[in-house]
Amino acid sequence: MNDSDKFPTAILGASGYIGQHFARLLARHPTFAPPILVGGERSQGQRLEELWQLTEEPPRELARERLRRLSPAQLQRAGVRIVFGAFPSGLAGPVETECRRRGIHVFTNAADHRMDPDVPLLVPEVNAAHLRALTAGSHRRALLVTNPNCTATGLVLALAPVWSLLSPKVVHVTTYQALSGAGLPGIASLSITDNVIPYIPHEEEKVAAESNRILGIVRNGRIVPDRVPFLANCARVAVRDGHLEAVTVEARRHPSVADLRQAWTDFDPLRDLKLPTAPHPPVELRSQPDRPQPSRDRWAGQPERARGMAAVVGRIRWNPPYLRFFVLSHNAVRGGAGESVLNAELADALGLLPRGRTNAS
Amino acid sequence: MNDSDKFPTAILGASGYIGQHFARLLARHPTFAPPILVGGERSQGQRLEELWQLTEEPPRELARERLRRLSPAQLQRAGVRIVFGAFPSGLAGPVETECRRRGIHVFTNAADHRMDPDVPLLVPEVNAAHLRALTAGSHRRALLVTNPNCTATGLVLALAPVWSLLSPKVVHVTTYQALSGAGLPGIASLSITDNVIPYIPHEEEKVAAESNRILGIVRNGRIVPDRVPFLANCARVAVRDGHLEAVTVEARRHPSVADLRQAWTDFDPLRDLKLPTAPHPPVELRSQPDRPQPSRDRWAGQPERARGMAAVVGRIRWNPPYLRFFVLSHNAVRGGAGESVLNAELADALGLLPRGRTNAS
Amino acid sequence: MNDSDKFPTAILGASGYIGQHFARLLARHPTFAPPILVGGERSQGQRLEELWQLTEEPPRELARERLRRLSPAQLQRAGVRIVFGAFPSGLAGPVETECRRRGIHVFTNAADHRMDPDVPLLVPEVNAAHLRALTAGSHRRALLVTNPNCTATGLVLALAPVWSLLSPKVVHVTTYQALSGAGLPGIASLSITDNVIPYIPHEEEKVAAESNRILGIVRNGRIVPDRVPFLANCARVAVRDGHLEAVTVEARRHPSVADLRQAWTDFDPLRDLKLPTAPHPPVELRSQPDRPQPSRDRWAGQPERARGMAAVVGRIRWNPPYLRFFVLSHNAVRGGAGESVLNAELADALGLLPRGRTNAS
Amino acid sequence: MNDSDKFPTAILGASGYIGQHFARLLARHPTFAPPILVGGERSQGQRLEELWQLTEEPPRELARERLRRLSPAQLQRAGVRIVFGAFPSGLAGPVETECRRRGIHVFTNAADHRMDPDVPLLVPEVNAAHLRALTAGSHRRALLVTNPNCTATGLVLALAPVWSLLSPKVVHVTTYQALSGAGLPGIASLSITDNVIPYIPHEEEKVAAESNRILGIVRNGRIVPDRVPFLANCARVAVRDGHLEAVTVEARRHPSVADLRQAWTDFDPLRDLKLPTAPHPPVELRSQPDRPQPSRDRWAGQPERARGMAAVVGRIRWNPPYLRFFVLSHNAVRGGAGESVLNAELADALGLLPRGRTNAS
């Protein structure tokens, strides 16, 4: 596909850590054209390479592009069909609403709209049905789709394959969260060197609310969240990327450990959709006793384009009614930019992004 | 007290991390004389300062002392009354047994005898009664007293003040354990830089078994362990010292949060014994939302001699039946050498270390 | 001495890293009274303990004091006789000038006035003569004394004892600078974890200019800087505190290595002044092959009050004409707050801080 | 080329850090067949994946291969034509000699033979002439080629393009060396967390001797080392991979800075040989003020197969006669396994590895 046949796109907030991962993932995407880079007051006019903070080199296609301060109206006039949202929460909400009003599809990492009743909070392998349900009656409207908090994403990916097998009564989760989860500039080095910070504002509440929403069912075209208590303890550790989580599920049902492993191994609901950024399998099991580890497993995911998109599960211990395991996922890829790109790919595969003219409301 | 009036002591395994903390704590102790330094094959003949790995300078009184390879018989002949045990588990057991047989009191960090029915596994603020019970009928025998695993020590200190108030049904604990918990040379830097290792061999089992033993009751002169499931997830993080633990208690009783705080604040059962190394209070509460932290709270404990001996509790969240909090304690001090020194001080205060001649069996 | 007999003091910029070290050092100082804490717009009204970032606990005497936004005029009215300067460079200059104009002595870590011809850039063991020379004719004026850049301070302390013995032709210095040298919030953790940053703005120039000024001679009441090229390479490493520097001196003279060691060992020009914060000796030599190290040597300095004030020199290699060694000093103590406190103590010992009424110009 | 047409190879010491990089580089090499994995007493019988320590996954082709303890005679009988050496220095020497005697070509990272007069110490872009000279008269003999110390390799790569332009009088180099330079298990985490260790045994001497040898000229078929003093200060920092070096050259000639930059930019002497692992360009210049950095630049090198093979130079400051810059190179790739693979590729390109039957002496 030529770039001219691809969807014109933009990144809202290309100067941030998630924004830069969007740039990396979209520079050579098979169906989304290289994005316009939208920045804020401070970053406008600067080249992407000047702001670059990832350890990988900036993508050559975009490195010398300058960030521009563009309104939704200007994006609409520029023909942008899809925006990927990486503005800070709070700032993001109104801009995303306005983009949508102007017929631009929004796939966003910002938290503002995650709990809106008509907005899917999407992890494609887990709740693609939510996307279908919430878009069933709105053919003419642009989409607004959110991805969850970076901690909730890995957690629900690990839980989804075994959720109905276990029928959880309570989920305990304690986290070892990476520095990049705090964005840029993020955590001061003096605060975290030789240290752990056992507090991340609002994180524990988000994990609980978002996980239940994602694992909820569709009834009468609405999402009915699950109501399992998620008891979270969230802490920051001196790791660059990759959120590790210790999970203990108190279960109502007691399958065999072989059944649990089989459920994880067989899990690949998107297998046939051939989404470019989808990992196969989405959950990788590790048999070594000391895995998953952030430095070794953060880039898990096959094929190449899906690197960093798999959740890695290990140290499974099953003492009914308690199942314990660790899960790791790349917070900025599976738990951020990659997730929203995958969400857009799913929407496209489901025919929700018609290629015709834009649909301003 | 002159050194000549103090108990003659020795450190078994003075070359290791715990052994060096013993040296630091015993160099100028009010009732225990500066120790003879016992080493193994590799360390014998070297000066303490040559082996020194702590960031503090070695104590001047001992820095130039050489490690000696001495048998229990030689220690007995040298007049040693108390040995502090820091030999590696496995190696330690028989040596400790032989010391005791020869009338030398043993206070040890090694795991070998922790589960022996007649050996106290002691945290003085929590189960001083165990020491009394297990020594009631053995006036003429030398003592063998163990301190718990470094993770269990901080955990039971935090739980003890609220244990009967809560009547726990289950205790969930997930750890952020420091590098020094693995001793010397310990964890390779390539394994842990920018990483977390979610596995510490045998640790989760020890935490469960030892915590229940410490919290057990005395019946007919025997220890009856408690039977609360302790579900542990143990991981190593890139922190030098200080084990942080995220604890969730599922409780049968539901006191008010004020009662819980009061119980922690009032807790100081050793107040009147005036043990030199006892911290007052033994559990410090932090009100800041992001505490306890290893780099800031590891040396908690008043007075000066008790630095590193207090457990620090923070982030208390009480959603009955679930109580959540974080606790931090210095793994090598409260969870190691300091604990055994305190155990010996308690034994002395209870009159279990008579100052007369030695009591070889 | 009662606090009421001590000099009334204030800290300009008590919310920063250097400011907090000033608070730590001045809370119980024998001749300076506990300071008023001056903050800026953001920090005013907050308690010191709320802003505290050092790993040690805040001093009890000051922990609950609130930062106040006070002008030099208000400080004068409050009877303050000495301010210790920790405002950011740029902001600091005019405030310090105004304090001095109002008769308040200024001892500052800020860079603004370091190169003023009439302002001493002082390291007491090295150039106390500068202080005498520049204050000779100004009995009636308040003092303004600066301490050098944190890298230059350790460097000149190490060089001073051997400077005339070697008659250096060139000094090469390459640094491993600690995170705290960048103040608060300082270096982002994502920038430095598993990394080195080989650039610190303006640092290399400051090291060269300031070192030559400090090592300069007094002629006709003026400072004539030395003119030795200092070729610096400055880099930031993932260390909390303590600047390590690799120094290579190309020398014109070739003393024996024994003479060099003797010169370092004998160096203690302030021995007789009994300044409270002066370390004796000011330069400590380490004989181990792998020292000095930041984590072990940063707090060098005897007696207790002078901890962190000694420079530690090791790995001396002398292949004439090239002398190589490493030096370490605590950047925030010897290279910051402690240095200015020592400067004030020297001024007092020299009778430059008369105890009578203030001397507004 | 089918694997059957490629050179049969083996790795001596596949369990170590350099050995694992050899495995990574040779698993799918265009001219060298997947290697036999030779281990020592402890590693024999284990699968490569069980020993794996790199953060990248082990190559699928070799992951499940077991390490074997094989003598040179057994390797000869197995038809091995080339061994890549990663045994520890000391152990390596005699085995390499014996391999060569049996007609097996040796390309090794071990230090034992680096200074043998008839053995090339090779960095192909710098001294390919040494390989030609030392093999001119030995058509019938197997090759033994060494790669330099990891610190010397990056240094000479950076210096070679400007060496004759500058005609150096002295080279000062101070290093920030990565953890992996110490191999496995390497540096203890307690030794380096929040620390720098300013000492690496024998490193400073090796840098001096090896750099001069590599930069030496060929005269009458022999290598005449250069005689420039290399004054090194070598230190270890808490970085996983990538040696950073601060270099100051005192020069006899004073070209323009433009000429220096041009010399670096134009440098690519292997351009036409199309060696698979050769980076083009071999020296990359960075214009940003804060580069090179280990975490961002360690994997420099184009094309894909040459990742980690380029040296990255930045912060060029030219104040005649002193040129200062920083250089970074991946110590385990360019400074280890990758270097020896490139050496073998060069030998092959020069026709020194005839494809016929083996040439036992």
How do residues B37-82 score in pLDDT, each as one tens digit?
999 999 999 999 999 999 988 999 999 999 999 999 999 999 999 9
Q: Give me the helix-helix angle, B124-135 and B203-214, nearest 10°.
A: 70
* Interface list for D 224-283 with B (CB within 8 A): 238-240
Give pLDDT, residue B271.
97
Task: Assess whether B99 carries a catalytic annotation.
Answer: no
CB contact under 8 A, A190 and C53: yes
Q: Helix, strand or coil for residue C308?
A: coil
Set of chain D residues whose Cβ sits within 8 Å of the Cβ of A296? 55, 57
Task: List CB contacts (< 8 A) between D239 and chain B.
Answer: 193
| Rounded Cα distance, C292 and C312, in Å | 6
- Taking only the tens place, the pLDDT of each residue in B114-143 is 999 999 999 999 999 999 999 987 667 899
Dihedral class, residue C168 (left if φ above 0, else alpha if ψ from -120 to 50, else beta):
beta
Task: Note whether B18 contacts D: Cβ–Cβ < 8 A.
Answer: no
- Please tell me which residue of chain D has the smallest CA distance to A298: D55
The answer to whether D40 touches D359, Cβ cutoff 8 Å, is no
Q: Indicate yes or no: CB of D194 within 8 angstroms of CB of C229.
A: no
* Chain D: closest CA distance from residue A193 (Å): 7
Backbone angles phi, psi at A12, to 5 degrees: -85, 110
CA distance C195 to chain D (A): 5
Other Cβ atoms closer than 10 A to B46: 16
Task: For chains A and D, count residue pairs whose Cβ atoms are closer than 8 Å.
Answer: 11
Q: Residue D307 and residue D280: Cα distance in Å, rounded?
A: 10
Is the torsion defined by CA of A318, A324, A328, A334 positive or negative? positive
Chain D from 144 to 163: CB within 8 A of any C CB: none
**Full-prediction pTM beyond 0.90?**
yes
Do B150 and B200 form a contact (C-beta atoms < 8 A)? no
User: What pLDDT does D136 receive?
Assistant: 84
CB–CB of C340/C84 below 8 Å?
yes
Give the model's pLDDT for residue A3: 79
Query: Residue A290: which of B199, B231, B246 has the nearest Cβ?
Result: B199
How many other C-beta atoms are found inside a 10 Å radius of the C-beta of residue A34? Answer: 18
Per DSSP, the three-state class of B354 is: coil
Q: Which of D174, D193, D322 sits opposite C246 (nearest CB)?
A: D174
- Chain B: partners with 3+ C-beta pairs within 8 Å: A, C, D
Chain position carrying tokens 């695993």: B149
- Helix/strand/coil for B166: helix
Cβ separation D198–C295 shorter than 8 A: no
By the 8 A CB rule, do B176 and A237 touch? Answer: yes
Question: Among partner residues B194, B246, B292, which is closest to A233 by beta-carbon distance?
Answer: B246
The Cα of B54 is separated from the nearest Cα of chain C by a number of Å equal to 8
pLDDT on residue B302: 95
Nearest CA in chain B to D191: B53
Cβ-Cβ contacts under 8 Å for A201 (sequence gap 6 or more): none
pLDDT at position B152: 98
User: What is the 3-state secondary structure of chain D?
Assistant: CCHHHCECEEEECCCCHHHHHHHHHHCCCCCECCCEEECCCCCCCCEHHHHCCCCCCCCCCCCCCECECCCHHHHHHCCCCEEEECCCCCCHHHHHHHHHHCCCEEEECCCCCCCCCCCCECCHHHHHHHHHHHHCCCCCCCCEEECCCHHHHHHHHHHHHHHHHHCEEEEEEEEEECHHHHCCCCCEHHHHCCCCECCCCCHHHHHHHHHHHHCCEEECCEEECCCCCEEEECCECCCCCCEEEEEEEEECCCCCHHHHHHHHHHCCCCHHHCCCCCCCCCEEECCCCCCCCHHHHCCCCCCHHHCCCCEEEEEEEEECCEEEEEEEECCCHHHHHHHHHHHHHHHHHCCCCCCCCCCCC
pLDDT at A4: 80
Average pLDDT in the B248-272 region? 98
Q: Which residues pair with C222 in a beta bridge?
A: C219
Over the range D5-22, which residues count as b (16 or more CB within 10 Å of their CB) and which as e? ebbbbbbbbbbbbbbbbb
pLDDT tens digit sequence for B325-359: 999 999 999 999 999 999 999 999 999 998 654 44
Catalytic (active-site) positions of D:
150, 243
Hey, is the C-beta of B196 within 8 angstroms of any chain D C-beta? no
| Nearest chain B residue (CA) to A323 | B231
Q: Is D291 at the interface with chain A, CB within 8 A?
A: no
In this structure, the number of other CB atoms found within 10 A of the CB of residue B129 comes to 13
Confidence band (pLDDT; 50, 70, 90) for D358?
Answer: very low
Q: Which residues contact C214 (CB under 8 A, 6 or more apart)?
A: C121, C122, C123, C126, C127, C130, C148, C152, C156
Instruction: Give the whole-angstrom CA distance, residue B99 versus residue A63.
Output: 71
Among candidates D55, D194, D295 on the partner chain, residue whose Cβ is nearest the Cβ of A296: D55
Residue partners of C197: CB distance under 8 A and separation at least 6: C187, C191, C235, C236, D290, D293
Query: What residues have CB less than 8 Å from B43, skipping those under 6 apart?
Result: B14, B15, B51, B67
Task: Give C186's contacts in chain A (Cβ within 8 Å).
Answer: 188-190
Q: Which residue from C237, C314, C315 is facing D196, i.e. has the nearest CB?
A: C237
Q: How far apart are CA A180 and CA B33, in angstroms?
A: 51
Of A77, A72, A74, A81, nearest to A7 (Cα)? A81
- For B13, the token pair is 């395994």
pLDDT value for C356: 57
In the set C21, C105, C150, C330, the catalytic residue is C150
- A54 touching C, CB under 8 A? no
Average confidence (pLDDT) over A161-182: 98
Show residues of chain A in contact with C53, CB under 8 Å: 190-191
Q: How confident is the model at residue B360 (pLDDT cuts 50, 70, 90)?
A: very low
Question: How far D191 CA sits from the closest chain B CA (Å)?
Answer: 8
Question: Each residue of C129-149: b (16+ CB within 10 Å) or e?
Answer: ebbbbbbeeeeebbbbbbbbb
CB of B295 less than 8 A from some CB of C? yes
* Residuewise pLDDT in 10s, chain C (361 residues): 777 889 999 999 999 999 999 999 999 999 999 999 999 999 999 999 999 999 988 999 999 999 999 999 999 999 999 999 999 999 999 999 999 999 999 999 999 999 999 999 999 999 999 999 999 876 678 999 999 999 999 999 999 999 999 999 999 999 999 999 999 999 999 999 999 999 999 999 999 999 999 999 999 999 999 999 999 999 999 999 999 999 999 999 999 999 999 999 999 999 999 999 999 999 999 999 999 999 999 999 999 999 999 999 999 999 999 999 999 999 999 999 999 999 999 999 999 998 654 444 4
Q: Which of B55, B194, B296 sits opposite C296 (nearest CB)?
A: B55
Average pLDDT, chain B: 95
The three-state secondary structure class of A311 is strand
With beta carbons under 8 A apart, name residues in chain A contacting C193.
179, 189, 238-240
A15 contacts on C by Cβ (under 8 Å)? none
Between CA D264 and CA D280 the distance in angstroms is 12
Query: How far does B237 lie from chain D, in Å, by closest CA?
Result: 11
- Compare all CA atoms of chain A with the CA of B326 and give the residue at the minimum distance: A198
| A75-106 tens-digit pLDDT | 999 999 999 999 999 999 999 999 999 999 99
What rounded mean pLDDT belongs to chain A?
95
Hey, are the CB atoms on A184 and C180 less than 8 Å from each other? no
Rounded average pLDDT over B26-38: 97
Nearest chain D Cα distance for residue A56, angstroms: 7
Beta carbons of B189 and D186 less than 8 Å apart: yes
Closest CA to A181 of A208, A159, A153, A213: A153
Count Cα neighbours of B253 within 13 Å in the Cβ-side half-sphere. 12
Q: Of the candidates A272, A232, A228, A217, which has an alpha carbon nearest to the alpha carbon of residue A250?
A: A228
Q: List CB contacts (< 8 A) between B295 and chain A.
A: 193-195
B8 neighbors B33 (Cβ within 8 angstroms) = yes
Distance from CA of B218 to the nearest CA of D (A): 40
| pLDDT score at B3 | 79
In this structure, are residues D244 and D297 in contact, taking their beta carbons and an 8 Å threshold? no
Q: Which of D57, D193, D296 sits opposite A55 (nearest CB)?
A: D296
- In the three-class reduction of DSSP (H, G, I as helix; E, B as strand; rest coil), residue B334 is classed as helix
The per-residue pLDDT for range A199-217, each reduced to its tens digit, is 999 999 999 999 999 999 9
- Partner-chain contact B295 C194, CB within 8 Å: no
Nearest to B295 among C55, C193, C295 (CB): C55
Q: Which residues of B touch C295 (CB under 8 A)?
A: 55
Asked if residues A244 and B196 have their Cβ atoms less than 8 Å apart, the reply is: yes
Please, which chains are in contact with D (at least 3 CB pairs closer than 8 A)?
Answer: A, B, C
The Cα B226–Cα B223 span in angstroms is: 9
Annotated catalytic residue within B150, B172, B202, B330: B150
* Mean pLDDT value of segment D158-169: 98
Task: State the Cα–Cα distance between residues D249 and D232, nearest whole angstrom.
Answer: 12
Please confirm whether the linkage preceding C276 is cis (ω < 30° from 0): no
Chain C residues in contact with A189 (beta carbon < 8 A): 179, 186-189, 191-193, 238
Instruction: Name every chain A residue with its beta carbon within 8 A of the beta carbon of C239.
Output: 193
